[in-house]
Amino acid sequence: MSETHPRWGGPGEDYRLKKIRTTEAELFGPEDSTPAQAPTWRIPQRVRSLPFLEIIFTILGTIGVIVLMVTYVRTGGVVSAAVMTILALIPLVIVLGVLSYLDRWEREGWKSNFICFIWGAGVATLSSLVVNSTLNLDIARTLGDQDSAAVIVAVFVAPVAEEFFKGIGVIIFVLARRNSINSRLDGLICGGIVGAGFAFIENIQYFLRTSSSGAFMLTTTVFTRGILSPFVHPMATSFTGMAIALVLIRRYGALWSTIRVALGYLTAVFFHGLWNFLASNNGIGGWFHSYITIEVPIFTCWFIYLITQSSREAKHIQQGLSPYVVQGWVLPVELQMVTDRAQRRNAVKWAASAGSEARKAMNFFLNSLAAIGLDEYARPLRQREDPARDAYDRELLTKAVEARKKFLSLTELSQAARRVGA
């Protein structure tokens, strides 16, 4: 019976013992020309545990919203401010519903949408209000005419300031989440949600201001701002979002990136300023005429572009995932689940029958495959290599495979439990 000796060390102990010479041949013989290398290991990297972007955006945005709402309460009272807030929810629901429909293939999480919204509602709105009010007072003193100063600020100052502060939030968010921005539609959605937050708080301000002039003026303002033009701010800021997203995806050089982002911002300023100009100079009758002949065609073209871009995104996902289907990473039926709205809904419903964890795993699986497909489609269009995004996609593919295992296991267990119960 052989005696087993306890092992006191790991690879490091083996290396140390191997270096000790005990026999005569080992003591007086030549040293090994290729000594064994000391064992090494990869030191684990520190994983960031705090969502700093979410914390900073939420704190700054919440402070801005509180300051603005306290001002509104002092201006119109608690009841009036509450009523106007409810009225401002009408256009907000419309805008968020449309944006949610467009963002149906590779959805952003609710946390990302929330911090974009709170930046627009708090930081951008309060900052713009300070700039607009200050310059309005200065221009009025210089001209001696408050009405002319209000028009100048509305047409030339407000679009520049408001799109700047909204755009800063979009740029920070996109840069911080650069690897999860997979198409220009992602940038558009981000800009649209920032604009929706801005419009929501600004609408409360306008509704309060006009409510003091009677029910007719309030109704007119709610109808024109909340029903006819809820997409002014989301549409304008979407141009900035699309520009920064396209720059990140295509990996342009510094000069071209700066030019394209600047053009996106100037486009936002132009359409915002055009809207304010038409609203400031024509009266209510002239405004309706301008709305029908100028603004409606602009909104129509924007909506057509959004729908077209969303449809193209599904095709891009299919093309990008085709190599993964050939190599066996993705099944053909899974490709249809990702890019067909009805099949996607049925897949999520099927997984949800096994519980919330299975539903979450299915949603993560579908969104991950959509993101990988969009990145793979955009790879030949890049001006430079993007190793960080490639590494992110490899990790995302691994997580998607794990998510598939999870919802398949959970659904199998659920079906087995139902058979036993039957």
DSSP string, 6-72: PP---HHHHHHHHT---SHHHHHSPPPSSPPPPP--PPPPPPP-S-HHHHHHHHHHHHHHHHHHHHH
Mean pLDDT of 179-201: 93
| Count of helices and strands (H, E) across the chain | 18, 0
Q: How far is CA 196 from CA 24, 113, 169, 359, in A?
A: 84, 11, 13, 29
**Average pLDDT over every residue of 115-141:** 95
Q: pTM above the 0.85 mark? A: no
Sign of the CA dihedral with 321 first, then 326, 327, and 332 last? positive
What are 309's two structure tokens?
């871009």
Better-predicted residue by pLDDT, 287 or 311: 311
Give the position of tokens 């030019």: 259
Residue 12: predicted pLDDT: 46
DSSP string, 321-345: HHHHHHTTSS-HHHHHHHH-HHHHH
Average pLDDT estimate for 210-227: 89
Top mean pLDDT of 97-101, 156-160, 226-230 is at: 156-160
* pLDDT for res 103: 84
Residue 416 has pLDDT above 60, yes or no: yes
Flag whether pLDDT at 253 surpasses 60: yes
Q: With cut-offs at 50, 70 and 90, classify the pLDDT of residue 246.
A: very high
Residue 7's pLDDT is 47
CB 396 within 8 Å of CB 343:
no
Residue 32 confidence (pLDDT): 54
Q: Residue 2: pLDDT above 50?
A: no
DSSP E strands, 266-322? none
Token duo for residue 319 = 């093309």
Q: Whole-number mean pLDDT of the chain?
A: 86
Q: What is the pLDDT of residues 80-100, one digit of tens each?
A: 999 999 999 999 999 999 998
Residue 239, pLDDT score: 96
Q: What is the pLDDT of residue 27?
A: 46
Q: In this predicted structure, what is the pLDDT of residue 16? A: 46
% of the chain residues with pLDDT over 70: 86
Residue 178 is predicted with a pLDDT of: 86
Rounded Cα gap, residues 250 and 242, in angstroms: 12
Query: How far is residue 303's CA from residue 298's CA, in Å, rounded to a whole number?
Result: 9
Q: What is the mean pLDDT of residues 40-57?
A: 68
Asked whether residue 140 carries a pLDDT value surpassing 90, the answer given is yes
* Of 206, 215, 211, nearest in space to 233 by CA: 206
pLDDT at residue number 49: 60
6 pLDDT higher than 50:
no
Instruction: Work out the number of other CB atoms within 10 angstroms of the CB of residue 217.
Output: 14
User: Average pLDDT in the 282-297 region?
Assistant: 84
The pLDDT of residue 30 = 56
Measure the CA angle with vertex 131, ends 234 and 73; round to 5°.
75
Average pLDDT over residues 401-414: 88
- pLDDT surpassing 80 at residue 1: no
